[in-house]
Structure 1
Amino acid sequence: MKNIIDELSWRGLIQNKVPGVEKQLKKCTTIYVGFDPTSDSLHLGSLLPIIILIHFQKLGHKSIVLIGGATGLIGDPSEKKDQRIFFSLETLQKNTESIKKQLSKLLDFYSEKTELLNNFSWIKKISLLDFLRNVGKHFPINYMMSKDSVKKRIYNNKNNGMSFTEFSYSLIQGYDFLYLNKEKDCLLQIGGSDQWGNITIGIELIRKKTGKKAYGITFPLVTKSDGIKFGKSEKGENIWLDKKRTTPYKFYQFWMNVSDKEIEKFIKIYTFFSKEKIESFILKHRKNPEKRFLQKKVAEEITLWVHGKKAYEEVVKISHVLFGKKYINELLFSLDEKILFSLYENIPHMKLPYKEFAKGVFLLDVLKKSSLFASKSEANRALNLNSISINKKLIKKNIFLHKENLIGKKYILFQFGKKNFFIIKVE
Structure 2
Amino acid sequence: MTYESDLLRLLEERGHLHQITDAGALDALAAKQVITGYVGFDPTAPSLHIGNLASIMLLKRLQQAGHCPIVIMGGGTARVGDPSGRDETRQLMTDERLAANIAGIRGSFERILRFDDSETGALLINNDDWLSKLGYIELLRDVGPHFTINRMLTFDSVKLRLDREQPLSFLEFNYMIMQAYDFLVLARDYGCQLQLGGSDQWGNIVNGIELNRRIDQREVYGVTAPLITRADGAKMGKSVDGAIWLNEDALPAYDFWQYWRNTDDRDVGKFLRLFTDIPLDEIARLEKLEGAEINDAKVVLANAVTAMVRGADAAKAAEGTAATTFAGGGAGEELPTLSVGPEGMRIGAVLTQIGFTASNGEAKRKIAEGAVKLDGEAVTDPGALVAVADGASVKLSLGKKKHGILNR
Structure-2 residue corresponding to 1:147: 155
Structure-1 residue corresponding to 2:338: 350
TM-score (norm 1): 0.84
What amino acid maps onto 2:75 in structure 1? G
Deviation track 1:22-50 (CA, whole Å, cap 9, x = no partner) reads: 22221221111111111110111211222
2:222 equivalent to 1:216: yes
* Aligned partner of 2:136 among 110, 128, 150: 128
Q: Secondary structure at the match of 2:124?
A: strand
Structure-2 residue corresponding to 1:168: 174
Structure-1 residue corresponding to 2:191: 185
CA 1:397–1:136 in 2, change beyond 3 Å: closer, same or farther? Answer: closer
Partners of 2:372 and 2:399 within 8 A in 1 = yes
Write the distance in 2 (CA, Å) between the matches of 1:403 and 1:235: 30
How many angstroms does 1:93 deviate by?
1.1
Deviation track 1:313-339 (CA, whole Å, cap 9, x = no partner) reads: 221222122211x5x3xx55xxxxxx6
How many angstroms does 1:131 deviate by?
0.5
What amino acid maps onto 2:143 in structure 1? V
Q: Is there any run of 5+ residues in structure 1 with no aligned partner, and where?
A: 333-338
CA 1:24–1:350 in 2, change beyond 3 Å: closer, same or farther? Answer: same
2:358 equivalent to 1:370: no
Count of aligned pairs between the two proteins: 392
How many angstroms does 1:216 deviate by?
0.1
Alignment of 1:75-90 (within 5 A): 75-90=81-96
What amino acid maps onto 1:306 in structure 2? V
How many angstroms does 1:92 deviate by?
0.7
Write the distance in 1 (CA, Å) between the matches of 2:70 and 2:365: 53
How many angstroms does 1:389 deviate by?
3.8
Partners of 2:194 and 2:221 within 8 A in 1 = yes
Partners of 2:38 and 2:194 within 8 A in 1 = yes
2:387 equivalent to 1:390: no
Partners of 1:230 and 1:238 within 8 A in 2 = no
Deviation track 1:105-142 (CA, whole Å, cap 9, x = no partner) reads: 22222242211111111112110000010001111111
Deviation track 1:201-244 (CA, whole Å, cap 9, x = no partner) reads: 00000000111111000001223566453469x99611000112
Partners of 2:367 and 2:379 within 8 A in 1 = no
CA 1:322–1:21 in 2, change beyond 3 Å: closer, same or farther? Answer: same
Structure-1 residue corresponding to 2:397: 415
Structure-1 residue corresponding to 2:256: 251
Larger Rg: 1
Write the distance in 1 (CA, Å) between the matches of 2:372 and 2:153: 57
Q: Is there any run of 5+ residues in structure 2 with no aligned partner, and where?
A: none
Write the distance in 2 (CA, Å) between the matches of 1:198 and 1:400: 56
TM-score (norm 2): 0.88
2:332 equivalent to 1:306: no
What amino acid maps onto 1:394 in structure 2? E
Q: Secondary structure at the match of 2:83?
A: coil
Write the distance in 1 (CA, Å) between the matches of 2:199 and 2:243: 19
What amino acid maps onto 2:213 in structure 1? R
Q: Superposition RMSD on alpha carbons, in Å?
A: 2.6
Partners of 2:209 and 2:222 within 8 A in 1 = yes
Q: Secondary structure at the match of 2:70?
A: strand
Write the distance in 2 (CA, Å) between the matches of 1:103 and 1:91: 19
Structure-2 residue corresponding to 1:336: none
Q: Secondary structure at the match of 1:64?
A: strand
Structure-2 residue corresponding to 1:138: 146
How many angstroms does 1:351 deviate by?
2.0
